[in-house]
């Protein structure tokens, strides 16, 4: 197993040999190998390979159009036209037991814009559960998930109110609670705080950091300060490729690639024309 993972990391296009060694040292929760995606004759992902550890937050940064959101959609099965290999907990997602619906229970996805259902706050939390699960200690499930999403104190006395009566920041935390009710073993987040007020952003970041002690997370963000606050690992993508990956400290303090340095300084990247330093 270790030999196979070492061989894989040698093929990865992440540029940081030290990071390759660290990630290969443990059996990864998620492994992508040479992932490619073409949509409408456009190459969206170009041989993307990386691994995620079993816990902690990995921030996925890069300019708009780099392929970050498309990568998340491939992992969750929302886009199934990709080529390559995606393995979650040792199982190929193409042959996931129970199909793509079962996969999405294990790998939760939080989108940039909160999407709540036209039912009560409580019913939103339990929306994805089976009838049997909803009948078995529903209040305990609701409270536990809302507490983990840092929303319980604000809504505990109004659980029967319409979910759409909540503020945008509260709705996003409700979406997080709804995802947690399915007991996922991994969370993917696509700019989860992009349109939120500072307080809501702070609450969600604190929740994510706490949850990440027991599960892996891959978080797309254009907020470079946020990726530094979240700590963990950082992957920099541009033009459908992984340019560099490493610890938060290494990427922001000692980036090895000129493309990374230019992006961190100017928030722009032109990987087709930049020559590696």
The domain tally of the chain equals: 1
CATH number at residue 238: 3.40.50.300
For residue 83, count other CB atoms closer than 10 A to its CB.
12
By the 10 Å C-beta count (0-12 exposed, 13-18 middle, 19+ buried), 108 is classed as: buried
* Sequence-separated (6 or more) residues with CB below 8 Å from residue 200: 167, 168, 169, 170, 172, 173, 193
Structure tokens at 6: 């070492």
How many whole angstroms separate alpha carbon 9 and alpha carbon 130?
A: 40
pTM for this predicted structure: 0.86
The residue range of the domain holding 209 is 54-77+106-266
Query: What's the pLDDT score for residue 21?
Result: 44
Mean pLDDT score of the chain:
88
Q: What is the pLDDT of residues 23-37, one digit of tens each?
A: 444 578 999 999 999
User: 89 lies in a domain?
Assistant: no
- Residue 6 inside a domain? The answer is no
Asked if residue 152 belongs to a domain, the reply is yes
Asked if the structure places residue 91 within a domain, the reply is no
Residue 67 Rama label (left phi>0; alpha psi -120 to 50; beta): left
Cβ atoms of 251 and 19 within 8 Å: the answer is no
């Amino acid at each position: 197993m270790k030999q196979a993972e070492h061989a894989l990391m040698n093929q990865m296009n992440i540029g940081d040999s030290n990071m390759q060694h660290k990630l290969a040292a443990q059996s990864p929760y998620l492994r992508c190998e040479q992932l490619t995606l073409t949509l409408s004759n456009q190459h969206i992902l170009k041989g993307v390979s990386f691994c995620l550890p079993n816990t902690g937050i990995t921030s996925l940064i890069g300019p708009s159009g780099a392929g970050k959101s498309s990568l998340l959609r491939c992992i969750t099965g929302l886009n199934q036209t990709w080529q390559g290999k995606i393995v979650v907990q040792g199982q190929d997602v193409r042959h996931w037991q129970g199909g793509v619906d079962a996969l999405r229970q294990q790998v939760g996805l939080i989108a940039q814009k909160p999407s709540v259902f036209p039912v009560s706050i409580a019913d939103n939390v339990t929306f994805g559960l089976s009838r049997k699960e909803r009948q078995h200690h529903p209040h305990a499930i609701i409270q536990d998930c809302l507490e983990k999403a840092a929303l319980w104190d604000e809504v505990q006395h109004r659980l029967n109110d319409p979910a759409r009566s909540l503020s945008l920041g509260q709705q996003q935390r409700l979406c997080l609670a709804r995802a947690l009710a399915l007991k996922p073993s991994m969370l993917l987040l696509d700019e989860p705080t992009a349109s939120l007020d500072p307080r809501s952003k702070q609450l969600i970041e604190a929740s994510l950091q706490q949850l990440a002690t027991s599960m892996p997370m891959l978080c797309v963000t254009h907020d470079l300060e946020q990726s530094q606050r979240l700590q963990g690992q950082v992957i920099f993508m541009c033009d459908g490729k992984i340019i560099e990956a490493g610890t938060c400290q290494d990427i922001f303090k000692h980036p090895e690639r000129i493309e990374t340095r230019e992006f961190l300084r100017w928030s722009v990247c032109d990987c087709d024309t930049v020559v590696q330093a």
